[in-house]
Amino acid sequence: MSPEGKKLLNIVILGFGFMFMFTAFQTCGNIEQTVIKSFNSTEFHGSGYTSMAIIYGVFSASNLIAPSVVTVIGPQLSMFFSGLLYSGYIAMFIYPYTWSFYTASVFVGIGAAVLWTAQGNVLAINSTDNTIGRNSGIFWALLQFSLFFGNLYIYCAWHGHDHITDKDRQTVFISLTVISLVGCFLFFLIRKPDPEPAPAEAAESLLQAESTESSSTSEKLTSAVFFLSVKACKMFGTNEMMLLSISIGYTGLELTFYSGVYGTCIGAMTQFGKDAKSLIGISGICIGIGEILGGGVFGMLNKCNRFGRNPVVLLGLITHFVAFYLIFLNIAITTCCCTGSCSSWS
Domain of 133, CATH number, reads 1.20.1250.20
Shared-domain flag, residues 258 and 314: yes
Q: Is the pTM of this model over 0.95?
A: no
Q: Does residue 289 form part of some domain?
A: yes
Q: Are 102 and 50 in contact (CB under 8 A)?
A: yes
Residues 2 and 135 in one domain: yes
Tell me the CB-side half-sphere exposure of residue 96, using CA atoms within 13 A. 30
Length of the chain as a residue count: 346
Q: Rounded to a whole number, what is the distance in angstroms from the first to the last CA of the chain?
A: 66
Please check whether residue 127 lies inside any domain of the structure.
yes
Show the domain range for 321.
239-335
Q: Name the domain boundary from 129, 159, 193.
A: 193
Kindly state whether residues 61 and 167 are assigned to the same domain.
yes
pLDDT at 346: 36
Judgement on whether residues 185 and 246 belong to the same structural domain of the protein: no
Considering only residues 184 and 248, tell me which one the structure prediction assigns the higher pLDDT.
Answer: 184
Say if 115 falls within a structural domain: yes
Answer yes or no: is 34 within a domain: yes
Query: Tens digit of pLDDT for each residue in 10-52?
Result: 999 999 999 999 988 988 887 887 788 777 665 677 887 788 8
Please indicate, yes or no, if residue 5 is contained in any of the structural domains: yes
Class of residue 222 by CB neighbours under 10 A (exposed 0-12, middle 13-18, buried 19+):
exposed
Say if 117 falls within a structural domain: yes
Same domain, 253 and 328: yes
CA distance 11 to 123: 7
Name the domain count of the chain: 2
Structure confidence by residue, pLDDT tens digits, 121-165: 998 888 887 777 778 878 887 887 877 777 777 777 777 666 777
Q: Is the pLDDT of residue 79 over 70?
A: yes
- Residue 81 is predicted with a pLDDT of 94
Decide which of 193 and 112 is more confident.
112
In this structure, are 160 and 266 located in the same domain?
no
Contact 174, 157 (CB under 8 A): no
Residues 187, 251: one domain?
Answer: no
| pLDDT exceeds cutoff 50 at 174 | yes
